[in-house]
Amino acid sequence: MLVQAMLEQSALAHPGRRAVWHNGVWKTYGELNHQANQLAAFLGALGVRPGDRVAILLENSFDFIVAHFGALKANAVEVSLNTKLPADDLKRLLFDCEARVLIAANKFVRQWAAILDDLPALQHVILEQDLQRVAPKNVSKSLHFLTGIYEGTSGAAPTVQRMDLDLASLIYTSGSTGEPKGVMLSHLNLTSNTRSIVEYLGLRPEDRMMVVLPFYYIYGRSLLYGHFLSGGALVIDNGFAFPITVLDRMRDLEATGFAGVPSTFSILLRKTDLKTRQFPALRFVTQAGGGMAPALQQEVVAAFPQAKVFIMYGSTEASPRLTYVEPEMLPKKWGSVGRAIPNVEVVVLDEQGDRVPRGTPGEIAARGPNIMMGYWKSPTATAEALRHGYYHTGDLGYEDADGYIFLTGRRRDIIKVGGNRVSAKEIEDAVLEINGVLETAVIGVPDELLGEAIKAYVVRCQPALTAAMVLDHLGRRLPAYKLPKWVEFCNDLPKTQSGKILKSALQQAAAAGSTNSASSGPPC
């Protein structure tokens, strides 16, 4: 099965069924499939060949969905890019993937117009519409417009020249702890994982997912795939900066599903009236995109009493899902990320690549048809991640007596304090237990005596919370060597657009400035 078949099959079976809502408008499966065929035909006429890369710089929208499936229908490899990237980063990724075509929103013209001359492989730019005040003059590439393509191109289904083992998507990791890498995902990787997700979530045509996660992010992409495969619908809202409006829309449009990363739920719980609201249509809630502290898990379950809450775990390299906790088991397994999803094996390995007994810590590893082909142009990184027959996630954890996985930290997120190895996640989970904490991030900073010392960045929602109060709580929960040497308050934490905290930015900030026992000011 090819990825585009998820749209095509639903369009064939139910062409008039509502598929996506955005900005007050519904579009059907038939309409989206027709426009994707038009774009595919146009790309073919431009000379796009099987395997060519087509880059997409669009926010969640009808045009994104059409561009995504249209590129795949043209037998190309789609490369969805973070819309928040500055020009230099965008240039680096476009140069790296050797994109032949860029499909971009008019609003992002400043990000790409100045870098075109530095991209020899790029031949064509496709904008949303022809606006003379937006479209730059003297563009060095061939310039086209989606509105014209929709008006003047045949909507006949293109000829398929790919198979499910071929590369479908190149997704650049967020780079939250290092430089982004291009993850190569085949049609088989993506469709097999989608089938498993549909199975354990029990997705059905009646489901309607509220989408606040970007589609260029693999978790957001999985929402698109899962509901298209099951014939359900999506409600797109790109305005999570106004979370109360999102909750209103979720209620008014009778969304049956909602998905978020830990920071999504922290914001809803601390900055809205979520706890007093009711969502009669809501059937399920999913969380992934990083470990969620047990205390926050319990708050989410309490806030959505009528819905099944699925705690999940995965990575871009896994297309993305690896494990989930059954909602009925969650009260017995707070803090766990669950057991393997259907058709995937998840194990805990030692440094030699051997499985360890249950209860013994090690590195989380997995195998299955969802595991990536490798990293784009990075054989060394690929060999490091894909060894011993498994994908090594870089996450540390253990398997309990019932086979449920518990994460204890990242292999590269261990702080070495004197002779002790300290998990940043363990400290973060303890900080999040404190009333008045919105979110936190813990890092190691250089220390002449200890080698590394612990620094906790804390975003508080109660101004009365002090560093002494934080340390007092941690002192009752953790041994002395795990206590932060510094607690710094800030208004926000640096994040990717998908909501992951950028610890690399915190490391740079800590290295550039002095550390204080407590401070309040601009974002960290």
CATH number for the domain that contains residue 419 = 3.30.300.30
Residue 61 lies in a domain: yes
3-state helix vs strand vs coil in the chain, percent to 5: 35, 25, 40
Residue 443 and residue 400 share a domain: no
The answer, yes or no, to whether residue 517 has pLDDT greater than 60, is no
What is the average per-residue pLDDT within 433-451? Answer: 87
Whole-number Å distance between alpha carbons of 332 and 346: 20
Residue 377 lies in a domain: no
- Residue-level pLDDT at 176: 47
pLDDT digits (tens, 9 = 90+) for 235-284: 999 999 999 999 999 999 999 999 998 889 988 998 999 999 999 999 99
The answer, yes or no, to whether residue 524 has pLDDT greater than 50, is no
Residue 330 lies in a domain: yes
- Residue-level pLDDT at 192: 98
Chain center to CA of 13: 30
Residue 362 and residue 253 share a domain: yes
Give every CB contact of residue 177 below 8 A, 6+ residues apart in sequence.
410, 412, 413, 503, 504
Q: How far is CA 256 from CA 179, 247, 477, in A?
A: 37, 12, 38
Write the DSSP string, 474-488.
Answer: HHHHS-GGGS-SEEE
Q: Of 84-88, 153-157, 466-470, 496-500, where does the model show the most confidence?
A: 466-470
- Residue-level pLDDT at 263: 83
Residue 301 and residue 440 share a domain: no
The answer, yes or no, to whether residue 519 has pLDDT greater than 50, is no
Residue 428 and residue 398 share a domain: no
- 413 pLDDT tier (thresholds 50, 70, 90): confident
The CATH number given to whatever domain includes residue 109 is: 3.40.50.12780
Range from 135-149, 152-166, 225-239, 250-264 carrying the lowest mean pLDDT: 135-149
Residue 487 and residue 459 share a domain: yes
Nearest to 482 by CA among 509, 455, 463: 455
Of residues 141 and 412, the one with the higher pLDDT is: 141
The answer, yes or no, to whether residue 469 has pLDDT greater than 80, is yes
Give the angle 65-68-73 at the CA atoms, nearest 5°: 115
56: phi then psi, degrees, rounded to nearest 5: -125, 125
The answer, yes or no, to whether residue 379 has pLDDT greater than 70, is yes
- 504 pLDDT tier (thresholds 50, 70, 90): confident
Residue 14 and residue 155 share a domain: yes
**Amino acid, single-letter form, for residue 286:** T
Residue 106 lies in a domain: yes
CB distance 4 to 69 below 8 Å: yes
CB distance 160 to 2 below 8 Å: yes
Nearest to 440 by CA among 259, 241, 301, 293: 293
- 289 pLDDT tier (thresholds 50, 70, 90): confident
Residue whose structure tokens are 């999102």: 246
Residue 175 lies in a domain: no
- Residue-level pLDDT at 163: 97
Whole-number Å distance between alpha carbons of 413 and 86: 27
Whole-number Å distance between alpha carbons of 328 and 308: 8
Write the DSSP string, 204-266.
Answer: -TT-EEEE-S-TTSHHHHHHHHHHHHHT-EEEE---TTSHHHHHHHHHHTT-SEEEE-HHHHH
Residue 168 lies in a domain: no
CB distance 412 to 449 below 8 Å: no
- Residue-level pLDDT at 293: 84
- Residue-level pLDDT at 137: 60
Nearest to 249 by CA among 284, 287, 211: 211
pLDDT digits (tens, 9 = 90+) for 177-191: 457 799 999 999 999
- 516 pLDDT tier (thresholds 50, 70, 90): very low
- 319 pLDDT tier (thresholds 50, 70, 90): very high
Residue 384 lies in a domain: no
Last residue of a domain, one of 385, 409, 433: 409
pLDDT digits (tens, 9 = 90+) for 30-70: 999 999 999 999 999 999 999 999 999 999 999 999 999 99
Neighbouring CB atoms inside 10 A of 420's CB total: 12
79-104: b or e for each residue (b if 16 or more CB lie within 10 Å)?
Answer: bbbbbebeeebbbbbbebbbbbbbbb
Give the angle 464-512-264 at the CA atoms, nearest 5°: 50
User: Is residue 62 classed as helix, strand or coil in its secondary structure?
Assistant: helix
Q: Structural domain tally of the chain? A: 3
Angle, helices 29-45 vs 62-73, to 10°: value is 50
- For the chain, give the mean pLDDT: 91
The residue range of the domain holding 35 is: 5-162
Whole-number Å distance between alpha carbons of 236 and 250: 10
Of residues 221 and 152, the one with the higher pLDDT is: 221
Whole-number Å distance between alpha carbons of 420 and 428: 17
Whole-number Å distance between alpha carbons of 289 and 261: 5
- Residue-level pLDDT at 421: 74
Residue 319 and residue 247 share a domain: yes
Range from 90-94, 244-248, 472-476, 508-512 carrying the lowest mean pLDDT: 508-512
Chain center to CA of 386: 21
Whole-number Å distance between alpha carbons of 471 and 50: 58
Last residue of a domain, one of 107, 127, 162: 162
How does strand 362-367 pair with strand 390-399?
A: antiparallel
- Residue-level pLDDT at 377: 96
Whole-number Å distance between alpha carbons of 190 and 171: 12
CB distance 295 to 319 below 8 Å: no
Residue 439 and residue 403 share a domain: no
CB distance 279 to 251 below 8 Å: yes
Q: How far is CA 386 from CA 55, 318, 370, 391, in A?
A: 26, 12, 13, 5
Residue 199 and residue 93 share a domain: no
- Residue-level pLDDT at 9: 98
Residue 506 and residue 424 share a domain: yes
Residue 521 lies in a domain: no
Whole-number Å distance between alpha carbons of 486 and 454: 7
Range from 43-57, 133-147, 311-325, 430-444 carrying the lowest mean pLDDT: 133-147
Whole-number Å distance between alpha carbons of 224 and 303: 25
Residue 147 and residue 32 share a domain: yes
Residue 223 and residue 122 share a domain: no
- Residue-level pLDDT at 508: 84
CB distance 196 to 370 below 8 Å: yes
- 422 pLDDT tier (thresholds 50, 70, 90): confident
